[in-house]
Structure 1
């Protein structure tokens, strides 16, 4: 689950003689999207917001694994049967997802879509699933059985019952695409926030940076850090809202696709960097990998910075981020 990001210091409707800011909130890709654009006039801003909505809808129709006629649904229907030709951009997105699978050794895996939903986080679970059930729940998960043919732009899932899904990357990918589209159309500032996958560019009409507040995962009604967005994307993953507790240990709703067991130890990960898609891949991976392995991974990618908060309130952040290191 992506933790909500609180936008601060955005003056809705604020304008100068040269710029206006307009915002619209819509439901896209099954999630809330906040679209904020700065443009020379209201008509231009609203028209380009319509363009953003159309672009996200186009992407959803390509990569959604619950729309029966999408390309990804066709890939899943043909698992174990035949390769399926997809749009080059869908192929490239799948390639990038598999790259994350490799560098995380499967902690991130787009074939998680085939996982059996044996864990319940609605209060109905009274005991841990038995080990055999947990093992069986991930038997159709495995990124190594996803075969890509770049020459023909095809995706083939080797085993019947396998599925892929972009729930962990799709909104970030869409936010990045819309940012690039708006820049190409001359919109020099804005935010596309897909349910916590936030891609930003430019500055507010008064020339100040966009500013983001990170909510405290242990007291979600409070903000513990406020940061200017000088990099173009930010994503937060959190486990504090959906979890179960067995024998005094908290198990989050974010499942490790390698083991079938919930991730433990980390409450929240925020990642900043040039791409919301990539930031999402890192935030999800760090939740699964945990503090030690997760920080070791992201420190190899200096274009991305982080704030990681453990279940016991310890804060770890990248050098250069002005974060108090006291426990929450």
Structure 2
């Protein structure tokens, strides 16, 4: 420990996929920094296969091949596409790796948002549809069945990359680490301190990233955050965010941000995007519905570490965090005020705009505990007493 009673943490970073990937190691793994460097360098190969900005990537080759032309890909790329289509089916198309033409129509691909005409949206929608991607598992080929279709793994590729780097770290004996890509996709393994379970993370305010609405502990699980707090534009008084519903062609979510906890980063990224698209009311209901399916097959809901979408270790970490706030029952105390908490399969934090510009309406769902809550940032309408 240092003079501030905080552990000395080693940070190793690598630039890939238009963001910085960072591995954080606790003191007892500092000697393995070269292992972390090598694991992060594997990102270059992953980006080389999946990026649409690389002309020779496997995804670019699929997009160039055109309708009806089968393209053979590597096993790793095929696995990502298979999982993407599986999640698309599970979320009724709320997540779709072919939504690129819609993102382009709204100007977000060029980071210069504009409201397209109805005709432009209709034209883009004709090029969208995960069900028009044909995967041949025997030949390991990918075929696009719609004219103008384009695959873009921006919503799932980073999560896949994090899972693969995490796997390399564990294969080389590093079982305690924090790994994130651009801070919106995170995987936490083991512990970051000898005196605490898991890793303590903050849930950032959607439009004030330097302030956090509360903290969580993450253990052997992934966290993904989707939001439109940074990429949006206004047209005739209406705010439009960059996350587009691939079924309607419009950015219709009432959420400012959504954070979800899953067993893997690829699941957290894709499921988080799908729930964000659905909006607060629908996504909370969906998460509750998934939790109520006590005997579900893999094609009914996204797979997870346990029946509630969180590993047993993660649940224990949450219980510990909650336990830290327990008091003697014989001592009179004021009721604890917390955001509304709904049942659900996956732990999730839903943020919507509040009445004040600096406040958000917050709902919690599933197995998650929020501590050190900044009540000044939360609209009182979303608070309730324990």
The answer to whether the Cα contact below 8 Å between 2:84 and 2:96 also exists between their aligned partners in 1 is: yes
**For the residues of structure 1 that align with 2:5 and 2:92, how far apart are their CA atoms?**
40
In structure 1, which of residues 197, 203, 214 is the aligned counterpart of residue 203 of structure 2? 214
Secondary structure of the structure 2 residue equivalent to 1:58: helix
Counterparts in 2 of 1:297 and 1:79: CA distance versus 1, 3 Å: farther
Aligned to 2:369: 322
In structure 2, which of residues 342, 346, 350 is the aligned counterpart of residue 308 of structure 1? 350
Counterparts in 2 of 1:82 and 1:186: CA distance versus 1, 3 Å: same
Aligned to 1:31: 19
The answer to whether the Cα contact below 8 Å between 1:101 and 1:107 also exists between their aligned partners in 2 is: yes
Task: Report the alpha carbon displacement of residue 54 of structure 1 after superposing the two structures with TM.
Answer: 2.1
Tell me the number of residue pairs that the alignment of Structure 1 and Structure 2 aligns.
Answer: 311
**For the residues of structure 2 that align with 1:51 and 1:237, how far apart are their CA atoms?**
29
Counterparts in 2 of 1:267 and 1:98: CA distance versus 1, 3 Å: same
* Ranges in structure 2 where 5+ consecutive residues have no aligned partner: 292-307, 310-345, 355-359, 381-386
The answer to whether the Cα contact below 8 Å between 1:38 and 1:45 also exists between their aligned partners in 2 is: no
**For the residues of structure 2 that align with 1:124 and 1:22, how far apart are their CA atoms?**
38
Aligned to 1:252: 241
If you compute each CA radius of gyration, which structure gives the higher value, 1 or 2?
2
Task: Report the alpha carbon displacement of residue 273 of structure 1 after superposing the two structures with TM.
Answer: 2.1
In structure 2, which of residues 257, 260, 266 is the aligned counterpart of residue 268 of structure 1? 257
- Over the aligned positions, Cα root-mean-square deviation in angstroms equals 2.5
In structure 1, which of residues 273, 276, 283 is the aligned counterpart of residue 272 of structure 2? 283
TM-score (normalised: structure 2):
0.74
Task: Report the alpha carbon displacement of residue 297 of structure 1 after superposing the two structures with TM.
Answer: 2.6
User: Are 2:42 and 1:55 aligned?
Assistant: yes
Aligned to 1:201: 189
Task: Report the alpha carbon displacement of residue 135 of structure 1 after superposing the two structures with TM.
Answer: 1.6
The answer to whether the Cα contact below 8 Å between 1:98 and 1:143 also exists between their aligned partners in 2 is: yes
In structure 1, which of residues 189, 210, 223 is the aligned counterpart of residue 176 of structure 2? 189
Secondary structure of the structure 2 residue equivalent to 1:144: helix
Secondary structure of the structure 2 residue equivalent to 1:152: coil
The answer to whether the Cα contact below 8 Å between 1:216 and 1:224 also exists between their aligned partners in 2 is: yes
**For the residues of structure 1 that align with 2:56 and 2:134, how far apart are their CA atoms?**
21
In structure 2, which of residues 157, 180, 191 is the aligned counterpart of residue 170 of structure 1? 157
User: Higher relative contact order at CA 8 Å, sep ≥6: structure 1 or structure 2?
Assistant: 1
**For the residues of structure 2 that align with 1:186 and 1:124, how far apart are their CA atoms?**
45
In structure 2, which of residues 133, 142, 145 is the aligned counterpart of residue 155 of structure 1? 142
Aligned to 2:69: 82
**Structure (1/2) with the larger strand percentage:** 1
Task: Report the alpha carbon displacement of residue 278 of structure 1 after superposing the two structures with TM.
Answer: 0.2
Aligned to 1:18: none
The answer to whether the Cα contact below 8 Å between 2:284 and 2:365 also exists between their aligned partners in 1 is: no
The answer to whether the Cα contact below 8 Å between 2:13 and 2:40 also exists between their aligned partners in 1 is: no
The answer to whether the Cα contact below 8 Å between 2:73 and 2:140 also exists between their aligned partners in 1 is: yes
User: Are 2:152 and 1:100 aligned?
Assistant: no
The answer to whether the Cα contact below 8 Å between 1:168 and 1:281 also exists between their aligned partners in 2 is: yes
* Ranges in structure 1 where 5+ consecutive residues have no aligned partner: 1-8, 15-20
Task: Report the alpha carbon displacement of residue 156 of structure 1 after superposing the two structures with TM.
Answer: 0.4
TM-score (normalised: structure 1):
0.86
Task: Report the alpha carbon displacement of residue 133 of structure 1 after superposing the two structures with TM.
Answer: 1.8
